[in-house]
């Protein structure tokens, strides 16, 4: 499809004047930051630890720190982004905007993972960026189903693409995919509408995360055996963003990441809630595998709140949650 100006395109999708900053500043600015991270990664040939850890105790890589810096620089240019937190700096802090930035009526909070999957970037596997956009000045203690209004996913592979989900009260859900060049001045609209397909499915896909848990969980082992017996195709990259995008491209899939005796790895603010919004905008489901309830049903109480993930095509999610919970 032809190149398009992202701000102009977003305004056609969401013409409400009450969301002008979201469509002309916030989302285009965050997409530009993804283009900046993509450009930086292309020259980051030496991936190494920098000798520091974030507040969660995760060792930081040079690419993590660089991606965080790029994202923060673009956020500072968006006057309606009031607060932000990230996996690298997990505290909601007020943004110091560039001098003489005029105030805006719209106010948003950003919760983001600047480089999700950085542990698999050294072998040059596909990784991504996850950004959740929330109404107001905080992502905490809010209703995720109504207050998280958008998700932007950046995917860094042979190409750089973005998946954008928007769901604001009073408007129909929006989910589209676009391709980026390094400058992000214009984007290539790849798919103006992204939706899961309806059954019957020509090919069925499964992505089993935390597969080691199958050695101690009969329910999980039985579920994996079900996928094999039913001739599902295994597609698992080890990175959350590319695994989610694969399902969206194919129109089918189920991603299973149950929680065992150890601590869950996926954080609700930076991964689970943004991904859940994408799934629901695509017509799928995203559930907590421990409770069977929707991810977006429960507010986030603190930045390190974690959980498992069961998401994808609705019918397959229903089968999986029944298998895991009985």
CA angle at residue 62 from 56 to 67, to 5 degrees? 80
Domains of the chain, earliest start first: 3-191 (3.30.540.10), 205-325 (3.40.190.80)
Look up the pTM and report it: 0.95
CA distance 96 to 136: 17
| Residue-level pLDDT, tens digit, the chain, 326 residues | 557 789 999 999 999 999 999 999 999 999 999 999 999 998 877 777 765 666 665 667 889 999 999 999 999 999 999 999 999 999 999 999 877 777 789 999 999 999 999 779 889 999 999 999 999 999 999 999 999 999 999 999 999 999 999 999 989 999 999 999 876 667 899 999 999 999 999 999 999 999 999 999 999 999 999 999 999 999 999 999 999 999 999 999 999 999 987 778 899 999 999 999 999 999 999 999 999 999 999 999 999 999 999 999 999 999 999 999 98
If 0-12 CB within 10 Å is exposed, 13-18 middle and 19+ buried, where does residue 117 land? buried
Q: Is the Cβ–Cβ distance between 258 and 310 less than 8 Å?
A: yes
CA distance 253 to 208: 11
Sign, CA torsion 195/197/202/204: positive
Q: Considering only CA atoms, which of 169, 188, 170 is closest in space to residue 179?
A: 188
Q: Is the Cβ–Cβ distance between 247 and 312 less than 8 Å?
A: yes
Tell me: cis bond preceding 200? Omega within 30 of 0 counts: yes
Q: What are all long-range contacts of 42-49, with beta carbons under 8 Å and residues at least 24 apart?
A: 47/118, 47/121, 47/122
């Amino acid at each position: 499809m032809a190149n398009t100006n992202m701000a102009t395109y977003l305004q056609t999708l969401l013409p409400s004047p009450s969301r002008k900053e979201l469509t002309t500043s916030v989302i285009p600015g965050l997409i530009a930051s993804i283009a900046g991270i993509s450009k930086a990664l292309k020259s980051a040939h030496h991936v190494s630890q920098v000798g520091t850890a974030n507040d969660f105790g995760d060792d930081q890589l040079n690419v993590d720190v660089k991606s965080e810096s790029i994202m923060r620089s673009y956020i500072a240019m968006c006057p309606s982004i009031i607060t932000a937190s990230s996996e690298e700096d997990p505290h909601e802090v007020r943004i110091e905007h560039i001098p003489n930035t005029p105030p805006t009526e719209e106010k948003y909070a950003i919760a983001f993972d600047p480089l999700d999957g950085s542990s698999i970037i050294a072998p040059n596997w596909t990784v991504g960026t996850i950004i959740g956009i929330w109404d107001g000045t905080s992502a905490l203690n809010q209703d995720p189903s109504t207050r998280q209004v958008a998700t932007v996913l950046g995917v860094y592979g042979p190409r750089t693409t973005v998946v954008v989900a928007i769901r604001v009260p009073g408007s129909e859900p929006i989910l589209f995919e676009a391709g980026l060049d390094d400058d992000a001045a214009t984007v290539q609209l790849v798919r103006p509408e992204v939706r899961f397909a309806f059954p019957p499915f020509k090919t069925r896909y499964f992505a089993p995360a935390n597969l080691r848990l199958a050695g101690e969980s009969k329910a999980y082992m039985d579920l994996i055996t079900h996928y094999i017996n039913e001739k599902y195709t295994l597609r698992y990259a080890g990175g959350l963003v590319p695994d989610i995008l694969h399902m969206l491209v194919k129109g089918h899939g189920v991603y299973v990441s149950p929680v065992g005796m150890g601590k869950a790895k996926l954080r609700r603010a930076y991964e689970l809630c943004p991904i859940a919004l994408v799934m629901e905008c695509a017509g799928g489901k995203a559930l907590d595998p421990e409770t069977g309830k929707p991810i977006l049903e429960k507010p986030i109480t603190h930045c390190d709140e974690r959980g498992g993930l069961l998401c994808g095509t609705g019918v397959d999610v229903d089968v999986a949650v029944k298998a895991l919970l009985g």
